[in-house]
Amino acid sequence: MTLNVALIGAGAMGGAIGTRLVETGCTLTVFDLDPEKVAALTDKGARAAGSAAEAAAASDYVITSLNSARIVELAVFGAGGAAEGAKPGALIIDMSSIDPESTKALAARAAEAGLRWVDSPLSGGAPKALIGELTLMAGGEAEDVADAHAVLKHVSSNYTHMGPSGAGQTTKLINQVLCGLGFLAIAEATQLAQDAGVDAEKIPQALKGGRADSALLQEYMPRFATRDYRRTGRIDNMVKDLNGAQDLARLTNTSMPLTAVCAEVHRMLTAAGLGGEDQAALMEYFKGPDRGKLS
């Protein structure tokens, strides 16, 4: 059976998700405020909608991939939002990375409107979305999470129900703490290797299979070493996620000193004009006063 899916938000991540859904046979209706982003998907077989409401009206599943809780709220419940056009009982799958408390409030509001809500943030980025190998952590009612998998199986290879609404977003914040610290540790180790005269590009192979090995090490140390700043993510998005982790830590009274330092480094680079760059640009931190002028 062909799945009818609406996609609200066709940026770097949403565009990759939409591409994969079209390629795997879903009927996709897309809405984004940027016509060029919509055109990139309609060229591949998606249909354009003039509003989120119009996109939702044609679909049984509504995926949102947006940058903040406020934008998600407007896209779903604002004027012309998905809730206006969605069929009774339609399932909204929020793949944005937003804070757990906002997610709980949005899910409750959706329920009042006769809609279902699953938070399903992701790890793996656009490259993994394009080949259907995202890692997804889901929050919501068990039946809704299972229903969402009918769509999300096309873009993921690891899908886990973490608990009620907001649990997926909490898990994503934990993921981002681990990734943020990992990126910074590997960048720092890369600089140390180079300053000490060791070929940093050889280190991933040298450490492969050992306790220091990781997917991040294998992918990013070669990029750090060669200053390969191809954009597969954004430093300012990491700032948003680390801010979210720190907000949650304040609510839970959890001490996170390393996360605080990591967040400050990311904020410094963002203030230097590098917020839109990939995590590989963490190497610019080690340039000191010259940071902000890309190598």
* Enzyme catalytic residues: 172
Question: If you search the block for the tokens 């009620």, which residue do you land on?
Answer: 164
Q: Which amino acid type is present at position 45?
A: G
Please give the distance of CA 241 from its chain centroid, rounded to a whole number.
Answer: 9
Distances (CA, A) of 88 to 16, 83, 91, 98, 202: 28, 9, 9, 25, 56
Distances (CA, A) of 174 to 94, 142, 179: 18, 22, 9
Bridge-based pairing state of the strands 122-123 and 134-139: antiparallel
Token representation of residue 48: 């354009």
Token representation of residue 37: 């982003």
How many Å apart are CA 270 and CA 268, to the nearest integer? Answer: 5
How many Å apart are CA 172 and CA 185, to the nearest integer? Answer: 20
Contact in structure between 64 and 76 (CB atoms under 8 Å): yes
How many Å apart are CA 192 and CA 25, to the nearest integer? Answer: 48
Strand-pair partners of 27? 4
Query: Secondary structure of 155-186 in the HEC alphabet?
Result: CEEEEEEEECCCHHHHHHHHHHHHHHHHHHHH
Token representation of residue 9: 């938000």
